[in-house]
Amino acid sequence: MITTLIATRMTAQSIEQTKQGVQFSAQNLDVKIEFYSNNIVRVYKTPQGVSYNKKSLSVVKLPENTTVSFEQKGNTTVLKSNSIQVDVNPVTGGISFYDNSGKLLLKDKDYGTQFSALDDAGMPSYTIRAGFLLDKEEPVYGVGQIMDNKFNRRNSSHHMQNENMSTYSPYFMSVKGYGVFWDNYSISDFNDNPQELSFQGIGHCSDYYFMYGKNADGVIAQVRDLTGKAPMLPLWAYGFFQSKERYTTQDESLDVLKKYRALKVPLDVIIQDWRYWPEFHKTDSLWNSQSFDKERFPNPKKWADEIHKLNAKLLIVTWPGFGPKTEQRKEFDSKNMIIKFDTWPPKSGARPYDVYNPEALDIYWRYLNKGIFSYIGNDGWWLDSTEPDHINKKDSDFLLPTHLGTYRSVKNAFSMMHNKGIATNQRLTNDNKRVVILTRSGFIGQQRYGSNTWSGDVASSWEMLEKQIPAALNYTLMGIPNWNSDIGGFFAGRWKKDGGNNNPEFQELYVRWMQFGTFCPMMRSHGTDLPREIWNFGERGSWCFDAQEKAINLRYKLLPYIYSTSWDVSHNNGTFMRPLIMDFANDSKTHEIGNEYLFGRSLLVAPVTQYKARNWQVYLPQGSDWYNFWTNEYYKGGQSVATETAIDKVPLYVKAGSIIPFGPEVQFSTEKKWDNLEIRIYPGADGEFLLYEDENDNYNYEKGIYSTITFKWNDKEKKLTIEDREGRFPSMLKSRKFKIAIANRNDVIADSSPKSGKLISYNGKKIVVKF
């Protein structure tokens, strides 16, 4: 390491200049500042004279070669890349971050980092607090999935302990275009008040990353650069999922799939919930044995094969806890790889394995692979209770040892590590099948593992539906793109006394939740107390059945748009659920709006969250003009619009300049080729869309085996250019037809379908279509 000693003019303090940063001591702290890139700066602090070698669970990036200039201004040392300026005061320990124009972004508060000695179950440790100074009215987002119906996280406090329905990471993003990730996995606290924003947790160092992206997209790109990209999920993962708590036999779930096929209602995935394993006289001592009960699942391989023959996929639930009579538990116990508190279900004696131990992750997969994956060939995993559930909590439980320290010091990373073990081992076992994981918790870095976090066992209520939206948006702003919820809410017992599935209010709640689910990264129906399959709400021709079918069919029509968005998420660090601040931060009204969002870069969704609401206020941000998706009515941005919302229509608007591909009507995602897509153009601005296609599963896209077609709309010339196709893959369409339809703002229609369009042939070579 190259070091240069820089003496300050007025004190005896000094700073050592390193290749891409500085190190110094101040306020009894040793501080290291290092540029990881032009846009990312790491700040690492330990008590003076107490070194600690931090190995991150989340961060995968190594420092890249970055040109950093150094300058001394009085007592201040100034470090600059081509994007960020960092001012350091070695007397107070204060650190200030600026953009390259000199605009102040954030202050690491003078005297703001504190270490208080802590005995962590016999291990010398610290309670650590890191404080920051923000502008008084500066909105920030992130922190986690929090069910408080708030979007802006200013002036709030949160105990960051990952549990069912609460998923946190010590991270925030500012509307000013920067983010901070405090790399700590302990049970922690976030607090923001007029004096400061702070994180407090336990550990041996204060370790954070300042990331500058200019805007929300840029910050998310830096988060992914730092902690890992999100891989592509297969096309089928964007279809419709059906499950319940629970299908008790292999025939029951197979019959559900057959009935969907008979009704011709689209479906791609069946999920098998808990207790498919032997119940051992119903004491649950064989809980999560990762094997099948011979009476209820006599031929699980044939069951999975039958599901596949019906062109559907199978997800199987597996838990982190094991009953005392399971072979897994016996091996984990013998190797001291069990965290010794009781997990779900109560009174079973089940306990979670130590996900922080790399060997334990491999052992877990060995059983899972032998008992399920390589045996029946399932297509994905439902990882329940990944916080995990904790029965009869005692304070002493949090002091229990894990491979990486006390449970409380690493608890919030449990889901990420559990997901890591399964995802990495599955890829090693079979690299031809993309990892798909449904999981109940998360942490920054988990996006690397093909994981989709759901919001937990939420109540079936209008209030809870409303809370889902800002919770999802803050979660996705942490750089973790995949999120979903139980359509209709998990616990629906409150509706039983009033007619259950025939209760009009529950039916309407379910329909509105399904409309929200249509515009989430995963569309999944699940719950307990009341069955959720579509026929339980009535027959075709009844309003509740028809409204659900309309939402499901719309989801499938949008698959070319959704799958192309998935490529944008994976390749360009994009985001599915885009809070309005991502695209319209200059419109200050968007800073507090957490009940509507863009799905992809074109569709503005404002889910209805109140009973019998047939008129819904939707804010259309300034900076674009808008079309009502259902009617083609045209609106200027910067206004609230009273939107008629029939029970079968979610308020949905399209940004002017959008180009949206619509696919065929299908019963499952890959039933028909995309050889006759409708390309719908919404004039009013120039626009561009990249249509992405590949083999729909496997990881060949990582080797460049995919194709893209770019569509460009010139609004002034009313001209659509379809560029040369880029790339190729073996099953690629060599020629196809596109129906080009223009949304006419003067042609108000009764539904979303345009009246006419130009049919053109395309063979991969550039075409210009004029209107």
Residues belonging to the active site: 384, 387, 457
Tokens of 531: 């069955």
Q: Which residues contact 639 (CB under 8 A, 6 or more apart)?
A: 619, 620
Mapping DSSP to helix (H, G, I), strand (E, B) and coil, where does residue 148 land?
coil
Buried b (16+ CB within 10 A) or exposed e, 312-332: bbbbbbbbbbbbbbbebbebb
What is d(CA 382, CA 418) in angstroms, rounded to the nearest whole number? 12
Quote the radius of gyration of the chain (alpha carbons, Å).
Answer: 27
- At 315, which amino acid appears? L
Pairing mode of beta strands 321-322, 380-383: unpaired
- At 69, which amino acid appears? S
Torsions phi, psi of 182, nearest 5?
Answer: -90, 110
| Own/partner pairs, 634-643, CB within 8 angstroms, 24+ separation | 634/684, 634/745, 637/587, 638/587, 641/617, 642/615, 642/616, 642/617, 643/606, 643/615, 643/616, 643/617, 643/618
Closest to 212 (Cα-Cα) out of 204, 221, 202, 203: 221
**Other Cβ atoms closer than 10 A to 541:** 7
- Between the CA atoms of 593, 594, 598 and 601, what dihedral angle is there, to the nearest 10 degrees? 80
For residue 246, is the peptide bond before it cis, meaning its omega torsion is within 30 degrees of 0? yes
Closest to 226 (Cα-Cα) out of 62, 84, 61: 61
Is the Cβ–Cβ distance between 458 and 464 less than 8 Å? yes
The alpha carbon dihedral of 590, 591, 594, 599 has a sign of positive
Torsions phi, psi of 603, nearest 5?
Answer: -100, 120
**Other Cβ atoms closer than 10 A to 560:** 22
What is d(CA 279, CA 298) in angstroms, rounded to the nearest whole number? 14
Mapping DSSP to helix (H, G, I), strand (E, B) and coil, where does residue 544 land?
helix
Closest to 295 (Cα-Cα) out of 327, 255, 251: 251
Packing angle of the helix pair 327-334, 358-368 (nearest 10 deg): 160
What is d(CA 215, CA 99) in angstroms, rounded to the nearest whole number? 12
Mapping DSSP to helix (H, G, I), strand (E, B) and coil, where does residue 526 land?
coil
State the burial class of residue 400 (Cβ atoms within 10 Å of its Cβ: 0-12, 13-18, 19+). Answer: middle
Is the Cβ–Cβ distance between 287 and 345 less than 8 Å? yes
Mark residue 102 as left, alpha or beta (left: phi above 0; alpha: psi -120 to 50; beta: remaining): left
Is the Cβ–Cβ distance between 387 and 354 less than 8 Å? no
- At 28, which amino acid appears? N
For residue 692, what are the CA distances in angstroms to 402, 565, 687, 708, 732?
A: 44, 8, 17, 5, 11
What is d(CA 232, CA 244) in angstroms, rounded to the nearest whole number? 26
